[in-house]
Amino acid sequence: MEKDFDGWNRKKKAINAFLSPQFYERDIWWCTIGLNIGDEEDGKNHFERPVLVLRKFNKGIAWILPMSTKQKDNQFHHNIEHDGVVFSVMLSQLRLISSKRFRRLIRKISPHQFEQIKLKVICLLNPRP
């Protein structure tokens, strides 16, 4: 399938002009992830996909984890439910982004769910032999 990199580049120029919204850790946002290379997770409709804010560094930068409706439950994914739909948080796709990419707030996950996800990310970053 041919990727529309030119379309994404036009969209990226517009996103750069946006103001950063106020956001917090544990938030789930629709985010303009874009069109990426190889196995990196792409945005879907309008280059967007839901993401979980894992760490807020300042008002403009965050670590996020992309989400998918394709359910997987393994060391690289963590499933959470929202309004009857199960999303899989893609732990291996951790990335640093500008908050200008955030479009619409979906919800905030529970502190318990968030701690489970953080523990799985820590295990990925520091595997035990």
pLDDT tens digit sequence for 86-128: 889 999 989 999 999 999 999 999 999 999 999 999 999 987 7
pLDDT at res. 63: 97
Rank 4-8, 38-42, 61-65 by mean pLDDT and report only the highest. 61-65
> What residue ranges do the domains of the chain occupy?
5-125
Helices (H) and strands (E) in the chain, counts: 2, 7
Class of domain 5-125: mainly beta
Tell me the pTM.
0.82
Q: Percent of the chain, pLDDT > 90?
A: 52
pLDDT at res. 35: 59
